[in-house]
Amino acid sequence: MDASTSKSIQPIRAVKGTRDLLPRDVTLWQKIEDEVRRTFGAYHFGEVRTPIIEPTALFARSVGEDTDIVSKEMYTFLDRSDESLTLRPEATASVVRAYIEHSLFNEGGVRKLYYIGPMFRRDRPQKGRYRQFYQIGAEVLGSSHPAVDVEVLEMLTLFLRRVGLRDFTLLINSVGDKNCRPQYLNALREALSGVKAQMCGDCQRRADTNPLRVLDCKVPADQPIIEALPHFIDYLDPECRAHFESVLTGLCAREIPYEIKPRLVRGLDYYTRTTFEIASGVLGAQNSILGGGRYDGLSEMLGGPPAPGIGFAIGEDRLVLAVEAAGALKPGHPLTAYVAWLGEAAGAAAAKLTRELRAQGITVETGYEDAKLKKSLGNASRLGAGFAIIIGEGELASGLYQVKDLTTGRQEAVEPARLAEYLTRA
RNA sequence: GUGAGCGUAGCUCAGCUUGGUAGAGCGCCAGACUGUGGAUCUGGACGUCGCGGGUUCGAAUCCCGUCGCUCACCCCA
């Protein structure tokens, strides 16, 4: 307790919906991100880092003016030069903007890009939902071939298994394209006009504003009505249908389990054809850990050349919750060794040893002041050290340091020159 | 934006119904044990009881307001 803490000044707290990730949390985040780099890298995706602030128009044009994200959840402000800027609520628009801005389409072939970073939406916070949240996403631009969809989903399922998730279901659907979607929407509106009066208040509103969202309603009483509404896959034009079937065939060939969910819809306007989602049961109401899909017209919407694309975004905060619940990815000893010393002469030797071990990349801690051995070993134990190295008068005289394995309790004398090897073998 | 629950020690919480000197466990510090941790025992430090106002001789407890957190709706990652 800091006795100097002022009682009269109110401490400043983190902004609502934002949070501090402390070292004990971050170790897990880093392991997940290491796995992203390993797995996505193996599929030849390159990392991009785009700005967190973007022109507001970028999201209005891509995500859609009438979506909840754009109409009521963005952090938008006027810059000092009266330019409207927005803290990015998602990153696909930024990646496509960068793809166009740097003419990456001129380099031939498809471009595979991924990103990890914070996004901002002014929702009401709850479990798995924050105003500053993190997404891990990947995009493939430059091909509309269904094999791309399949490869993306293959990479995704491999990644999830590698971070320890086992029980998850890939939900997949097709939402058609600009040719067949209007016909489906007409059919849906027509069907809704006859039944919406019997539905919940939210559905009556959605039936007019965004009929696709009616399909996502969770009110039990509405389910029989929703079951009877037309399915998008029955309205796909021949090209979209062939694409969808090809994707499903590819998934089967790779033994990737999936479930067709005709009612799967996405909240962003740019999606076309393949859409998908993976949910986890441990997350509470916000159970979707990732979502994504194809967005073949997006580049043109942003003033670029035709560049069909597909991508996904994983909610990293939610993934961390799911990985924790799965109990995988246990970190090892964050601290390899603690150097315990007795007396000033040993202190000098300890400082030298500590410096040398650290220079070799071994994580080592030591005490700043002379302390009883009991206290030093207690510190070592509390800090989770794998080993304690004991240096006192006897060790200085013999030239051999006592090394105690704190897991087994076994102890032996080791030459200082051999210590680095001794600590890192295993 | 709407609703509900909860704010008491560093952490997890009890105490509130029926107002009467702020508690427990864990953690932390020290000692028992003057060079051997995790166990045990003993002792110790740390609290504007979220904040403001009201009722009362007296409020953690009752009332009003307010802020914060959490969960849910909504929406989405």
pLDDT classification of A67: cutoffs 50, 70, 90: confident
Query: From the alpha carbon of A15, which nucleotide's C1' atom is closest?
Result: B68
Domains of chain A: 23-180+236-326 (3.30.930.10), 335-425 (3.40.50.800)
pLDDT higher than 90, residue A362: yes
Q: What percent of chain A has pLDDT over 90?
A: 70
From residue A373, alpha-carbon distances to A110, A124, A302, A366, A404 in Å are 62, 52, 66, 12, 12
For every residue of A331-396, DSSP letters joined together read: ---SEEEEEEE-SHHHHHHHHHHHHHHHHTT--EEE-SS---HHHHHHHHHHTTEEEEEEESHHHH
Q: What is the pLDDT of residue A279?
A: 87
- What residue has token string 């740097």? A102
Higher pLDDT pick, A163 / A196 = A163
Higher pLDDT, A72 or A95: A95
Rounded Cα distance between A133 and A257, Å, is 29
Which nucleotide is closest to the Cα of A285 by its C1'?
A: B72
Residue A332, pLDDT score: 62
Spatial distance from the CA of A267 to the C1' of B26 (Å): 46
Which of residues 140 to 199 on A have a Cβ less than 7 angstroms from any strand B atom? none
User: Per the structure block, which two tokens stand in for A101?
Assistant: 């801005």
Asked if strand B contacts A18 at the CB level, meaning under 7 A, the answer is no
In tens, the pLDDT along A106-153 reads 988 899 999 999 999 999 999 999 999 999 999 999 999 999 999 999
Q: Which two tokens stand for residue A154?
A: 């293959």
How confident is the model at residue A207, as a pLDDT? 82
Chain A 209..228 CB hits on strand B (< 7 A): 213, 216-219
Residues A133 and A321: beta-carbon distance below 8 Å: no
Å from the A125 CA to the B49 C1': 27
A225: Cα separation from own chain's centroid: 35
- Which chain A residues 306-325 have CB under 7 A to strand B? 313-315, 317-318
pLDDT tens digits, one per residue of A236-245: 999 999 999 9
Kindly indicate the confidence band of residue A43, based on its pLDDT and cuts at 50, 70 and 90: very high
Q: Rounded distance, CA A342 to CA A392, Å?
A: 5
| Alpha helical stretches, state H, A45-200 | 56-59, 68-72, 92-101, 146-162, 181-195
* Mean pLDDT of the residues in chain A: 91
pLDDT tens profile A272-297: 999 999 988 778 788 899 999 999 99
Which residue's CA shows the smallest distance to C1' of B76?
A267
pLDDT in tens, A173-203: 999 998 898 899 889 888 988 888 888 877 8
| Distance from residue A381's CA to nucleotide B64's C1', rounded to whole Å | 52
Q: Distance (Å) from CA A371 to C1' B67?
A: 46
In angstroms, the CA A207 to CA A215 distance is 10
- Report CA(A125)–C1'(B52) in Å, whole number: 26
**Among A75-84, A226-235, A287-296, A299-308, the least confident range:** A226-235
Q: Which nucleotides of B are covered by protein (CB under 7 A)?
A: 1-3, 10, 27-31, 33-38, 45-48, 68-77
Instruction: Using the CA of A398, give the nucleotide whose C1' is nearest.
Output: B35
C-alpha closest to that of A244 among A174, A334, A143: A174
Quote the pTM value: 0.91
What average pLDDT score do residues A166-171 get? 89
At A228, the pLDDT band (50, 70, 90 cuts) reads confident
Question: Which residue has the closest alpha carbon to B69 C1'?
Answer: A16
